[in-house]
Chains A and B, each alone.
Chain A
Amino acid sequence: MFAVQLINGLMEGMMLFLIASGLTLVFGVSRIINFAHGSLYMLGAFLAYQIVPIFADGSLVGFAIAVIAAALIVGLIGIIFEVLVLRRIYHTDELMQLIITIALVFIIRDVVRMIWGANSVTVQMPDAFIGALIVGDNYFPIFPFMIFGAGLLVVMIMIGVIQFTRAGILLRAATDDRGMIALLGINEKLVFTSVFGVGSFLAAFAGGLQSPFGDVNYLMDETVIVGAFIVCVIGGLGNLYGALAAAMLVGVMNALGVLYFPRLAMVMTFLIMAAVLIFRSLGRQGGGAR
């Protein structure tokens, strides 16, 4: 039982990381806490619901194309939002930035409800995802493994991009000191816009990937955003590798917590989040003083 929950926890952790990675990237560069990240995730799930039937009749490739297409659309929406709205408020109070993204939460929620209705929808699972692995006496559904694999792929691509490409260098520079890259003659606006687009893409990608694995409805944004906040804060806001470690920690702890002390499981993560905030984050960004 322990082993089963441990593996489930790692799977959940990977999912959490996929969600939180976009949030932490955006915060690292533009110092914006995007409350609408969960809404973009939800949008990705609903778009996947819309697109999957076009490509896929249960094939894996079709599903992948659909999810990526959905994520690209949401990424585009993110870019448009950044250019039209966020760009005007980078200089203002942090609170105002938060309020703007909260406004986006409200807008997306109602638009989703207008288009797809208030009922839950289900996304068809590709055939390759159905079934279970049997190890000893334990059944492991295949689907979480697929998510884990996809997550791993994303992590590897991310690390590759961040470490070895010019875009990655710019990203790291912008996270370290965004004033400096402007002084170096790099188009700061372009960096901000593209990072927000990538963040939106990642949120929607996670949403699309997760969509066959449960109900998709217009209320999922809130749970998703709270989970993503926890991971980002524990990992150190803006710290990608910290987020990866934190996501695994939270995922495993949730899974084991359900097994051993089900009542405390939910509170535990928040307690850890609070403790990390008070005694500094795992990552380097987590200073208490401004």
Chain B
Amino acid sequence: MNSMKSDMKKKSEIDFRIVALGAAVALLVIFAGGAGMSLLATEILIMALFASSLNLLMSYGHMVSFGHAAYFGLGAYGFTLAIVRADIPVGLAVFAGPIVAMIGGLIFGALCVRLTEIYFAMLTLACGQITFTVLFQWYDFTGGDTGITDFMTPRFGLSEQYFAVFTLTIVILCLMFMWRVIHSPLGLAIRSVGQDRYRAEASGLNPRQLQLIAFTISAFLAGIAGTLFAVFHGNAFPDYAGLGFTLDSLIMVVLGGMKSFAGGIYGAIAYTLLKTYVPLVIQEWELVVGLILLFIVLATPFGLAGGIKRLQTMLGMGGKP
């Protein structure tokens, strides 16, 4: 993808050729690969959106969230609980998920942006664990660890392929929105706070407010991913807000490459493929992921997108927008 750091500055317009290319590749995979491939593609797309939302925080706002799954989980639960507890029709409930996640992001974010660096990360961890624990323990309302199942036909009853196309549309729209945000004046302010908050403050910006805005947008996007995930599987479990998903999202961003718009997307592709295909060869897929992570951090801490591209060609898979 051309969305590298260097041309980020000069080009703020969305390059529709890249979007079209990515969409074409995704559609090719979906329709040539059949139902199985479509499921995999849907999972990758949702994870790409989730990872990109974290990437927005990490690469541009310089905020490392250790509880990002909270907003993914809030999205999933906001949607399912709206249906199960409030009897809202499915068509409307899909909006509840992202909104609940956004409100969660606003509340937790308002607390978290008071801190920086490692203390910020620790507080997001605490907020994430609070969300997870509430979902896990509030049996009467959230169903506890048994989760919520059988409240709707998974994928709105769409076929695997049509749902994959639906997800693709939503994810592309969200990523274009994210691109516009990053390259708007607001995005520029967020990036300058991310690079040097003191200098940004000195030039009249309000770092905490900008960080909170970035945090809320990021939570909103993660909430959309969570809602899509709940629709995709037709269920919601507390694990969606747990440490496992948080670590997954972090690993995806680092795998894909920080400081790059496409980092989250590459990471989601690579990570999901690793998760799917490595176990077919050897059982210890986590070991493989761990070693790859180790290698990446030691060898090329930042400019990973190129390395991921090589990995993709090795695996014989194309990229998505």
Instruction: Tell me the A residues contacting B by CB distance below 8 Å.
Output: 31, 33, 85, 88-89, 92-96, 98-100, 102-107, 109-111, 113-114, 222, 226, 229-230, 233, 237, 263, 266-267, 270-271, 273-274, 277-278, 286-290
- The total of Cβ contacts below 8 Å across the A-B interface reads 115
B243 with A105: CB separation less than 8 A: no
Judge whether B126 and A100 touch: CB under 8 Å: no
| CB-CB under 8 A for A107 and B137, given A89-B298, A95-B58, A270-B130 | no
Interface contact B116-A288, CB-CB below 8 Å: yes
The total of chain B residues at the interface (CB under 8 A) is 42
Nearest chain A residue, comparing its CB with the CB of B122: A233
Interface 1/0 per residue, B108-149 and A, CB below 8 Å: 000100111111011101110110011011100000000000
Contacts of B118 in A (CB 8 A): 31, 33, 94, 237
Q: Please tell me if the beta carbons of A277 and B126 are within 8 angstroms of each other in the complex.
A: yes
Q: Is the interface of A mostly helix, strand, loop or mixed?
A: helix
Interfacial chain A residues near B117, Cβ < 8 Å: 94, 290
User: Which residues in A have their C-beta under 8 angstroms from that of B251?
Assistant: 99, 102
**Chain B: residues with CB nearer than 8 A to chain A?**
58, 64, 111, 114-119, 121-123, 125-127, 129-130, 133-134, 136-138, 243-244, 247, 250-251, 254, 258, 283-287, 289-291, 293-294, 297-298, 301
Chain A nearest CB from B98 CB (Å) reads 24
State the majority secondary structure of interface residues on B: helix
Q: Which residues of B contact A287 (CB under 8 A)?
A: 119
Q: Is the CB of A96 within 8 A of B137?
A: no
Instruction: Report whether B116 and A270 are in contact in the complex, using a CB–CB cutoff of 8 Å.
Output: no
Given contacts A96-B297, A278-B111, 17 further A-B contacts (CB under 8 A): A89-B298, A94-B64, A94-B118, A100-B298, A102-B293, A103-B289, A103-B294, A109-B286, A110-B290, A114-B283, A226-B243, A267-B133, A274-B130, A277-B115, A278-B115, A288-B116, A290-B116
Complex A-B: 24 CB contacts under 8 Å: A89-B298, A95-B58, A99-B297, A100-B297, A102-B247, A102-B250, A103-B294, A104-B290, A104-B294, A106-B289, A106-B293, A110-B287, A222-B243, A226-B129, A226-B243, A230-B126, A233-B122, A237-B122, A263-B137, A266-B136, A267-B134, A267-B137, A270-B129, A278-B111
